[in-house]
């Protein structure tokens, strides 16, 4: 029996391919084979994330880069590996060292993802850069911990990086100000107070705001933020009982994002994850975050009989 998602996913796949899957004839530049996004101005970034209507194609976000093919999370290797295969933007995690250098690290401690031990905040940057990153299976790689500034500079002209805000605003704000608030840097916002602080620093910075209820939406509506700069994280699933929330967000031109990281991404095999990815069909999200952005795209291609080598 043909999947009811077939026509919609056909549009999605066509958009993914049009966005620039790499080809052998792409050119000799190291970046020529990357699937880049339009990120050179805030106008272009706003337009890319703007919700236009139900025929919109979901945008894929790599959660901490990706966990695929031996890539360690929050690494330049993970970003590049993904963009060589599919267009995506990335959620990343800044943390501060003892000497106030901002690095990429999700956990407050080093043990799970590096060859080091103990809290990130108790080590200097000189100590951290001697460590190696581990992949999801605990295998040690050749990758080193990147600084946030390194990740921002690498991603310029290529993709958007969405910063989950663990670093104190008194440190992160001045760092972004020194870099000129690049248009491809997005900030994950949890509270109206955070939104007001960063909006006061720059009115040309994109926000990924946690809005899971009408009450939260109304709280953010009381702030002066520009809704053209907003994408809304609405939870791990789109829920029928929250249709009014989604409609009000989309009426503002705001895309609704879900994350598969706490749900289907936790399944052990690609086959199990694929089954999960294609199971929630009642309400399609506008942005999908996953630990496996390449795998997710291939699942959609496979469903349509369009698998590419």
- pLDDT score for 4: 36
Is there a contact between 224 and 199 (Cβ–Cβ < 8 Å)?
yes
- Give 279-294 pLDDT, tens digit per residue: 866 678 999 999 999 9
Domain presence at residue 26: yes
- pLDDT score for 117: 98
What integer best gives the mean pLDDT of the chain? 88
Kindly tell me if the per-residue pLDDT of 6 is higher than 80.
no
Lowest mean pLDDT among 14-18, 103-107, 132-136, 179-183: 14-18
Other C-beta atoms lying within 10 Å of the C-beta of residue 304: 16
Domain presence at residue 1: no
- Give 96-134 pLDDT, tens digit per residue: 999 999 999 999 999 999 999 999 999 999 999 999 999
Domain presence at residue 309: no
Average pLDDT over residues 149-178: 93
d(CA 58, CA 285): 7
3-state secondary structure of 110: coil
How does DSSP classify residue 224? -
d(CA 116, CA 109): 9
CATH number at residue 44: 3.20.20.190
How does DSSP classify residue 134? B
Lowest mean pLDDT among 69-78, 241-250, 274-283: 274-283
- Residue range of the domain that includes 217: 6-303
d(CA 300, CA 5): 10
Is there a contact between 120 and 148 (Cβ–Cβ < 8 Å)?
no
d(CA 272, CA 129): 37
- Give 226-240 pLDDT, tens digit per residue: 999 999 999 999 999
* Count of structural domains, the chain: 1
Domain presence at residue 308: no
- pLDDT score for 7: 41
Is there a contact between 270 and 43 (Cβ–Cβ < 8 Å)?
no
């Amino acid at each position: 029996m043909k999947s009811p998602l077939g026509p919609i996913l056909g549009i999605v796949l066509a958009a993914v391919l049009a966005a620039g899957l790499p080809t052998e004839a792409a050119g000799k530049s190291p970046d020529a084979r990357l699937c880049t996004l339009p990120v050179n101005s805030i106008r272009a970034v706003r337009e890319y994330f703007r919700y236009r209507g139900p025929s919109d194609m979901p945008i894929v976000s790599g959660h901490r880069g990706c966990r695929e093919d031996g890539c360690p999370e929050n690494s330049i290797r993970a970003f590049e590996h993904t963009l060589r295969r599919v267009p995506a933007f990335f959620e990343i995690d800044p943390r501060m060292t003892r000497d106030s250098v901002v690095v990429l690290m999700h956990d407050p401690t080093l043990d799970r993802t590096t060859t080091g031990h103990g809290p990130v905040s108790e080590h200097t940057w000189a100590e951290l850069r001697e460590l190696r990153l581990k992949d999801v299976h605990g295998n040690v790689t050749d990758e080193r911990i990147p600084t946030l500034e390194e990740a921002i500079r690498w991603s310029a002209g290529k993709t958007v990086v969405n910063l989950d805000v663990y670093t104190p605003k008194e440190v992160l704000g001045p760092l972004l100000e020194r870099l000129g608030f690049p248009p491809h840097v997005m900030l994950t916002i949890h509270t109206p107070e955070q939104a007001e602080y960063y909006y006061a620093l720059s009115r040309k910075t994109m926000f990924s705001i946690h809005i899971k209820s009408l009450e939260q939406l109304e709280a953010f509506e009381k702030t002066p933020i520009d809704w053209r700069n907003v994408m809304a994280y609405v939870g791990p699933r789109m829920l029928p009982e929250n249709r009014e929330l989604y409609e009000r967000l989309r009426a503002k031109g705001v895309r609704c994002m879900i994350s598969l990281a706490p749900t289907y991404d936790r399944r052990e095999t690609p086959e199990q994850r694929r089954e999960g990815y294609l199971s929630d069909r009642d309400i399609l999200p506008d942005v999908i975050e996953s630990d496996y952005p390449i795998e997710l795209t291939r699942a959609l291609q496979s469903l349509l009989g369009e698998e590419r080598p």
